Structure formats: C-alpha cells, structure tokens
Amino acid sequence: MLRKLYIGINRVTLFIGGLAILAITLLGGADIIVTLIFQRPIAGVFEATQTLMVVAVFLGLGMVHLNRSYISVDIAYDAMPSFGQRLSDTLTLLLMLCFFGALAWRGWGNALQSWRVGEYTSGIVQFPIYPAKFALAAGCTLAAISCVVDLVAGARFRKPAVLREE
C-alpha cells in the first residue's frame, strides 16, 4: 500500500516536471516567433524559464532514483567481488541520503522563508521564486526517502527495493 502510494506520488511529481518542460518549450518557441515577427521578445520568458527549469529537474529526482536512471560508470564496479559491490552500493546510498537529505532540509527552510517574505525575481516581469524552492525541497525529500527505503530493505544501488514485485 505505501509502496504504491510512494510510486504514485513520484509519478505525479514527474508528470508536473514534464509539464514544466512542455511549458519551457512552448514559451521558448513562442518567444522566438514573436521576436522574429515583432522584433521584441516576450517579457518575462527568461524568468519563467529559470523557475520552470528548477521544477523540471528536481521534481523528477524521486522517480530517477526509483528507476535507477542515473548515469553511471561500471568499469570498476563490475570487476569487484559481490561483497565489494554490496559495500559500494551501501556507501553510495548513504552518501546520496546525506546529500539529498541536506538539500531537502535546507531547501524546506529556504522555501518557507521565500514564501513568507514573498520573494520574486527581479526583472521586467516578476515571478515568485518560492514555487521553485518548494519543488527543489520536495524532489530532494522524495529522493532521500527512496534512499532510506533502499537502505532499510537491504537493496543494492543498482537494484531498487521500492519497485520490486511482492
């Protein structure tokens, strides 16, 4: 039950990240067309693209971890004995947990502060910054939770525990 809920949450955040990429593409295309026709870019496209890029990247982190869609170099790993591979997997998950946990912890604090003060970008069109900060914090939290689940389940870095069939 919790596994399905967690996978569902990660799918929703991945979908939102995909919508952000679609919005970036449409805004960029519209900006190019408008600039070619009217010799003036659309105001605020740059600022919107910056915010949407953070949403697109960080909301996908949980699903990237669940699917093990990382870029990795396995030359040394494949040459290790089974014990070395397990040790490497455990250390990798611990380091990832520390990294994503620290980013999530600081991210939530920064997002709440940004929301409280109503932080906006500086530019012709002002965009709120706090949605991007919340996206960063949420994405890092989901990635950290995936690491904890894998460590508790004794999963290996290259073989996820959450997506395993029961």
Residue 145, amino acid: I
Give the confidence band of 74 by pLDDT, cuts at 50, 70, 90.
confident
The domain segmentation of the chain, as residue ranges, is 2-153
Q: Is the pLDDT of residue 5 over 50?
A: yes
pTM score: 0.85
What is the mean predicted confidence (pLDDT) over 105-113? 97
Q: What is d(CA 2, CA 20) in angstroms, rounded to the nearest whole number? A: 27
Q: Is the pLDDT of residue 75 over 90?
A: no
Q: Residue 45 in contact with residue 38, Cβ under 8 Å?
A: no
Give the confidence band of 124 by pLDDT, cuts at 50, 70, 90.
confident
Average confidence score pLDDT of the chain? 89
Percent of the chain that is helix, strand, coil (3-state, to 5): 75, 0, 25
Q: Is the pLDDT of residue 165 over 50?
A: no
